[in-house]
Amino acid sequence: MEVSLSAHSSVFRFSILMADLLHIRSATLEDAPVLATLSDVLGYPVAVPVFKERLRRLLASPSDAVVVAEHPQEHIVGWIHGSAQELLESGQRCEILGLVVATTARNRGVGRRLVAAIEAWAQSRGLIQIAVRSDVVRVESHPFYKRLGYGRVKTQHVYRKELG
């Protein structure tokens, strides 16, 4: 059977190549400036020294994992933060607390590889469930998580109060 390829086939081939060339690894403190810049892309601007201190604490925490996707030519193109949690009402689970991929690297398998890395980390800790919250305005992320097998279980409001 012969299959004809459309003009999009080169994009598909490039996506596979991008995912194949990625190096997925634990973040280090030296990554802080790039990760802070990517945090701004996510909508959370933060000064590098503040971000570095947060990263330092998370890297020291046995309940947290911060993983980066590094491409040979593009350097770090994404990061993910997962946390093992114990909830009184529902038990243990992992929650993806942050995921960002550089705009130049989206739709090329980076997010999928980062999520897979956190899922593997969670499974290695004996966790059998993983959760992620996605703001309703991040409409591009909803089908992404569905494609990875995540199902929407509720819609909620988030309330916040500054202390001091």
Q: Is 42 left (phi over 0), alpha (psi -120 to 50) or beta?
A: alpha
Domain 26-147 sits in CATH at 3.40.630.30
Using 50, 70 and 90 to split pLDDT, how confident is the model at 3? very low
* Residue 18 pLDDT greater than 90, yes or no: no
Confidence (pLDDT) at 5: 36
* Residue 127 pLDDT greater than 60, yes or no: yes
Which region among 10-24, 41-55, 101-115 has the lowest average model confidence (pLDDT)? Answer: 10-24
Q: What crossing angle do the helices spanning 48-60 and 32-42 adopt, rounded to 10°?
A: 110
* Residue 15 pLDDT greater than 80, yes or no: no
